[in-house]
Structure 1
Amino acid sequence: MHGHQGHAHDHHDHAHHRPAPSDKRYTIAIALNLAFVLVEGAAGFFASSTALLSDATHNLSDVLGLALAGGAAWLAKQQTSERRTYGYSKATVLAALANALVLVIACGGILWEAGRRFFAPEPVEPGFIMAVAAIGVVINGATAMLFLAGRKEDVNVRGAYLHMLADAGVSAAVIVAGAAIWLTQAQWIDPAISVAVVLLILWGTWGLLKESLDLTLDAAPANIDVAAVRDYLASQAGVTAVHDLHIWAMGATKPALTAHLVRPDGGDDVFLAEVADGITQKFGISHVTLQIERAQRDDCEHC
């Protein structure tokens, strides 16, 4: 019926995939934010401010998220083994999913606290709150900048970036709330600002959650048009059908492809290498495996 003519592998990264910055940024980010969590938590107790305490809790969840992301990035660089032939690259996707879930849970906690404070407002010291929150804006903003590079290509890095950006936004909102309370003495402003910030965070997190869940389920990366890849393979000289096309992510930045090409005249190593190189250059898929079949199978439903 059909023969296995060979496999084409291309292990060179696509030109659009820039080398990932050093993992030291995770260590720096964790150290900075953990120190701020301790300061903000102590300030919250000193000022009897539930706003600062809830923000400190949110920041602590992000420290845990950074630890997950950093650990996954380290695992992704470990060597393959006899059993784990793909290595640990998938850990970056799992960490991104965990990061998104942690963000959603943290937002739920903030919403709960905001709702409670609508019905039981507590007096706060707005000047002290604004000063501590201003420190948070600086630290979280600077940390977010550490993850600016590579966030578009790596869903794991993007998760860390969104975490830090969300924290900076929360701290900025706390400053605004403190100023408004200081000017009007209206205690309901604080929970109202918190609800607005949470909705903004959830809106930004939805895309990360959906993409990381898709990658966990081995869906094709969002930036790759599967139909266009199929059309490209079908357009190659002598190819009469394409089936068993699979595109998935071995890691946050490592797309892979396998496909069967029906080509009655067969195909040599040169043909396989040229098609694989074309896939890499055109679609950024760095790991390509192709199988040539001389005859179309009777059970082929997707040719």
Structure 2
Amino acid sequence: MGAQHDHGHQGHSHAVPTSDRAILWAVVVNLALTVAQIVGGYIADSTALIADGVHNLSDALALVLAFGARRLARRPATPDFSFGWGRAEIVAAFVNFLALIAVSIWLMIEAFGRLTDPPEVAGGLVMGLASFALLVDLATAALVYRSARESVNIRAAFLHNLADAGVSVAVIVGGALIWAFGWYLADPVLTILISVVIMWHIAGEIGPVFRSLMLAAPAGVEPDEVLDALRQMPGVADAHHLHLWQIDEKRNAASVHLRTETPGFGGLIGDAKTMLRTDFDIHHATIEIELPDEPCADVAADDGSHGDGHDHGPHD
């Protein structure tokens, strides 16, 4: 039985991005905006303004967490952490999304309590602070735009800032309605809408992060297609016991058993790795070769209790 590992070391490169300073500036600006909005929201008695401020705080904390995770991700692999620290960014993204869910639920509870008896809100102050928030949101999005192409965390924060800009526009409209027509109900209604926007955004982003944490197959890589491609290779009698997962955002991995009827299988492993790398963007592959009439040791060892969901073939 033979096994060979392709660690794809090119995937371990974590060059220090030139935009780290811009990310830190974005954090500082968002924290300053958060203080202004929350204080102004209490003065104006506006839950919509406080909601926008809390959302900006979550964005600032998300940037801090993502920035720290990126620093961890650049640490080299060690014997204990043989894949390195790349998954720190995925964990950070998941924590950020869970925090946003909690914030959204809290804001909706507060807003529903005000629907029956909406308090008087200082519409002019709300409009002024929301306009300032709109400028900050757009400036923050511009600061992190370059880094958003490098990290799932920063990309999520970038999209959050764009969503915040839209939310700020909504708050401005609500402040105008209160200032012009005295429609105080606009404040809790807008708070609920802001929370719905946040939850809608999370729903579109948390799925891939959760899949990665659960070691699911990378998006766009179908296990059956990988098995079919391996089985069609010259010298391969069967392929089974396939596992696909993401090491981090940029590195996909696979392990698989190949049964061959040809004793000389040296070139088969290299060909299979090349095919996986070229056709499926899998740069880290562990391939185990099974010779004729040789039972699958993994299936014999675990008695099939850890089935990978794939057909192991008649020889298993």
Corresponding position of 2:216: 219
- State yes or no: 1:30 paired with 2:59: no
Kept after mapping to 2: 8 A contact 1:8/1:269: no
Per the alignment, residue 10 of structure 1 pairs with 8
1:98 aligned partner, one-letter code: V
Name whichever of 54-63 and 249-258 sits farther off: 54-63
- Partner SS, residue 7 of structure 1: strand
Are 1:65 and 1:102, in contact at CA under 8 Å, matched by a contact in 2? Answer: no
Letter of the 1:92 partner, please give it. Answer: E
Please say which of residues 55-64 and 93-102 is displaced more in the overlay: 55-64
**1:236 offset after TM fit, Å?**
1.1
Aligned to 1:109: 106
Pairing of 1:189-208 with structure 2 (within 5 A): 189-208=186-205
Aligned residue in 1 for 2:245: 248
Shift of the 8–255 alpha-carbon distance from structure 1 to 2, 3 Å rule, reads closer
For residue 99 of structure 1, report the CA deviation from its aligned partner.
1.4
> Aligned match of 2:87 in 90, 97, 111?
90
Is 1:302 the counterpart of 2:302 in the alignment? no
Residues matched between the structures, number: 299
Residue aligning to 2:124: 127
**2:188 is aligned with what amino acid?**
P
Aligned 8 A contact 1:75 1:89 in 2: yes
Go from structure 1 to structure 2 and tell me whether the alpha carbon gap of 1:225 and 1:203 turns closer, same or farther (over 3 Å shift). same
CA contact (8 A) 1:21 1:149 kept: no
Do the aligned partners of 1:99 and 1:159 also contact (CA within 8 Å) in 2? no
- What is the rounded CA distance, in whole Å, between the counterparts of 1:36 and 1:267 in structure 2? 67
Structure number with greater CO (CA < 8 Å, separation at least 6) is 1
Distance 1:88 1:162 in 2: 24
Q: Deviations over 1:163-207 (max 9, x none)?
A: 323322322211121122223211111211222232222122113
2 CA distance for matches of 1:9 and 1:271? 17
The question of whether the paired residues in 2 share the 8 Å contact of 1:133 and 1:175 is answered with yes
User: Which residue number corresponds to residue 43 of structure 1?
Assistant: 40
1:100 corresponds to: 97
Q: Which amino acid aligns with 1:94?
A: V
Unaligned runs of 5+ in 1: none
Task: Return the offset for 1:24.
Answer: 3.4
Give me the whole-angstrom Cα distance separating, in 2, the residues matched to 1:224 and 1:154.
Answer: 20
Contact persistence 1:244–1:260 (CA under 8 A) = yes
2:63 equivalent to 1:66: yes
**Whole-Å separation in 2 of the counterparts to 1:161 and 1:267:** 52
**How well do the aligned residues superpose, as a CA RMSD in angstroms?**
2.7
| Residue 284 (structure 1) aligns with | 281
CA distance in 1, matches of 2:167, 2:282: 38
* Cα distance in structure 2, aligned partners of 1:196 and 1:54: 10
Deviations 1:6-41 (A, max 9, x none): 33443345xxxx996643343122112112112223
| Separation in 2, partners of 1:150, 1:284 | 22
The change in CA–CA distance for 1:190 and 1:48 in structure 2 (over 3 A counts) is: closer
SS in 2 for 1:187: coil
Sort the Cα spacing of 1:228 and 1:157 in 2 relative to 1 into closer, same or farther, 3 A. Answer: farther
The residue matched to 1:89 in structure 2 has which SS? coil
1:79 lines up with 2:76 in the alignment: yes
| Deviation string, structure 1 residues 83-114 (Cα, Å, up to 9, x no partner) | 11122111111111111111111111221121
> Which stretches in structure 2 are left out of the alignment for 5+ residues?
301-310
| Offset from partner CA, 1:247-273 (integer Å, 9 cap, x none) | 111112221111111112145554323
CA 1:266 to 1:12, structure 2 compared with 1: closer, same or farther past 3 Å?
farther
Question: Which shows bigger deviation, 96-105 or 135-144?
Answer: 135-144
Q: TM-score, structure 1 length as denominator?
A: 0.87
Matches within 5 A, 1:167-182: 167-182=164-179
Deviation string, structure 1 residues 101-154 (Cα, Å, up to 9, x no partner): 111111112211211221231212222211211121222233234444575774
Contact 2:87 2:247 in 1 (8 A): yes
Relative distance call for 1:6 and 1:251 in structure 2 (3 A) is: closer
CA–CA distance in 2 between the matches of 1:91 and 1:20?
17
